[in-house]
Structure 1
Amino acid sequence: MPVPARTPGLLVPRRPPGGGPGQDRRSASRLPSIGRVPLRRQPLLPAASRSGRARSRTEPRAGGGSLPRSPPATQERKGAAMSLLASLLLLTSLAAAGGPTLAPTTITQGALGRVIYPVPEGRLVANAVLQVAGNTLPCFQQEDRLIALFAVPVQTPPGRQTATLLVRYADGSREHFPLGFTVASGTFPTQRIRMPKSKTGLMSSTILAKERQILYGAMKKTAAVPQWEGVFANPLEGRISSPFGRKRYVNGRFWGQHAGRDVAAPTGRPVQATNSGTVLVAQKLWMRGNTVMIDHGLGVFSLYCHLSQIGVKVGQSVRKGEVIGRVGATGFVTGPHLHWEIRVQRTPVNPAGPLREGIALGLPGGP
């Protein structure tokens, strides 16, 4: 169940009981272990700046006389500089407190992002979710940190976006962490294909809904621990006949953007698992034809479609490089090839990233 958002603001570590000089004890008593301090209401200013407010309109000048007060424009510049300093001091305190981090801070359409939050010592997490791109995604606790993986849909407009981490602790307190990032434009070519009427029936919204129901239902069984190892491997070497994200028009009608990568190959060539995991789907579908879906843990999945043969069963554990089926031309196709995908939760990911650098979580001895 999503955690209700709190009033927007930045987060700072709570002071020890009793606080420092001049601390508002009534405000402190209402704060959880990490409280929210709106910058406009409680700016963090150096002591010298606070004491300077009580000075007279003129200041002593060496050699006698007085120094006139700075003009308004100068005062505004000083105020802006002081606000910037306050923000930097607050961000420094957040980093020292071990707040959540989102990486990378610039994500291309169709690429992968991750949020990692070191849970404060002595605190127990009851539930945590990540809200991003209109989706609410589960978080997984690995050792002493929360991890959430997400993919930026290819249709996401370029520009600034916000992911929000919502945490509910066992004692009933809640935290709300807004994390900004930038979406960069991807490069996606256009493809126009002609299909016979005998195949276009597979584009039915009813058929697509049935397939999604099967796949999305199986995705709920993802493992709470990562099962992949290192970088992901190409399940089939060959010519890429259709790249990820390609804009497709079928018989003149916009069909959408390609959710995976197509590799041209003759029927019967072996298809290998891109990484280790557990088989969740191994059956014939309508548009996708004979399909295998593997769970790699933490909401990461790979799919292999249009197979002529399926070589694994649901529940079977597979290793990276293990043969799981053979190239075919079943389902909505113009010829034999492998269509394969990597998804995070339900969102397709450009496989180029995991193939090049894997999916790093920063866990000791882990991926």
Structure 2
Amino acid sequence: MIRLFFFCLAFLGLMVASLFAQPIVDISPSVAWQGKVIEVKIPAAGITGVEGKFLGQKFKLYPQEDNFVGIIGVPTDQKPGNYNLRLIITQTDGKTIEQVEMLKVWPTKFPVTRYWLKPSRNKLRARNIIDNEWSEIEKVLLHESEKRLWSGQFALPVKGEKSQGFGQLQIINGKRSGSHKGVDLAVPIGTKVFAPNAGQVVFTQKLKAFGGTVVVDHGQGIHTLYFHLSKFAAEVGQDVKQGDLIAYSGNTGVSTGAHLHWGMSVHNLRVDPEQWVKYEM
């Protein structure tokens, strides 16, 4: 009789523990690197919604098959160390629970690059020009559609030698000028630029500093950016798939020579696009 009592007590304890058990969070990669992204995945069973916060950035996890999945980036200047990833999970009964995961941010080695701009190009770097043009671009980067448009790995938009990598510390005309927010690919003017993955064209404008500019929305806060273009081949609102022609490279705006600047934005934070070429997100 006593043995039965303890068996029932143990069984009840297991049942109670299961009710309060937190979902298993899968984080890939398991550590975060400056300038890179991490993917956060939680099983969808018993859950209706998940929102996250990491390094002061709020982000949403979206339903994907049997999980909720979200992607968040690490700023290039984030101080290395341990940080909390906070997840607010809404359960099917309407109650919310907070789950905290500890993540370590590791430093990324960013090389220094030095170059000179002609006076006619350098004057385009005026703060008011940059700020006004970026505010126009940022309007589309702040929009997050619920639908995930991309799938699998991204492809390079052009085939060319990398002339400057993401995050490189720039010294322009002898003065420090922040870090490079994309990848520069050296290609002749007029080289065809292809969509690296499925999405929708949401911005096409000829700007003074950024030159011919295209932005493609890949859904759920993921955008790719293309600067210094000579000509557009797609229109705003046009749906594209991987490999579709969207523009032609050029040497417009603040540029030292013919090339394509390719950028990746995740919830309005610029991250290394090459990570998306090497790995499936």
TM-score, normalization by structure 2: 0.87
Aligned residue in 2 for 1:107: 32
CA contact (8 A) 2:141 2:265 kept: no
> d(CA) in 2 for partners of 1:170 and 1:355?
36
Aligned residue in 2 for 1:274: 196
Residue 211 (structure 1) shift: 2.8
Distance 1:179 1:270, change over 3 A: same
1:333 to 255, 262, 269: 255
CA contact (8 A) 2:82 2:103 kept: yes
1:162 aligns with 2:84: yes
> d(CA) in 2 for partners of 1:169 and 1:337?
49
Residue 141 (structure 1) shift: 2.4
Letter in 2 for 1:321: G
Aligned residue in 2 for 1:118: 43
CA contact (8 A) 1:105 1:180 kept: no
CA contact (8 A) 2:53 2:85 kept: yes
CA contact (8 A) 2:142 2:268 kept: no
Tell me which structure has the larger Cα radius of gyration: 1
Letter in 2 for 1:107: A
Over aligned residues, Cα RMSD in angstroms? Answer: 2.5
Aligned residue in 1 for 2:23: 98
Letter in 2 for 1:124: T
CA contact (8 A) 2:84 2:101 kept: yes
**Partner-residue secondary structure (3-state), 1:139:** strand
Distance 1:207 1:173, change over 3 A: farther
Q: Map 1:252-267; keep pairs closer than 5 Å.
A: 252-267=174-189
- Partner deviation per Cα, 1:199-220 (whole Å, 9 max, x = no partner): 2332233323223322222124
Q: Map 1:21-100; keep pairs closer than 5 Å.
A: 34=20, 98-100=23-25
- Partner deviation per Cα, 1:107-155 (whole Å, 9 max, x = no partner): 221111011122343x533xx4211122112232234432210111111
Residue 225 (structure 1) shift: 2.5
Residue 330 (structure 1) shift: 1.0
> d(CA) in 2 for partners of 1:167 and 1:311?
43
- Gap runs ≥5 in structure 2: 1-7
Letter in 2 for 1:326: Y
- Gap runs ≥5 in structure 1: 1-18, 35-93, 360-367
- Partner deviation per Cα, 1:18-40 (whole Å, 9 max, x = no partner): x957x99xxx9xx9x64xxxxxx
Identity of aligned residues (%): 30
Distance 1:331 1:223, change over 3 A: same
Q: Map 1:165-180; keep pairs closer than 5 Å.
A: 165-169=87-91, 172-180=94-102
**Partner-residue secondary structure (3-state), 2:138:** helix
Distance 1:267 1:170, change over 3 A: same
1:249 aligns with 2:171: yes
> d(CA) in 2 for partners of 1:170 and 1:357?
33
**Partner-residue secondary structure (3-state), 1:124:** strand
> d(CA) in 1 for partners of 2:53 and 2:40?
11
CA contact (8 A) 2:53 2:86 kept: yes
Q: Which has the higher contact order (CA 8 A, sep 6+)?
A: 2
User: How many residues of Structure 1 are paired with residues of Structure 2 in the alignment?
Assistant: 272
> d(CA) in 2 for partners of 1:220 and 1:352?
22
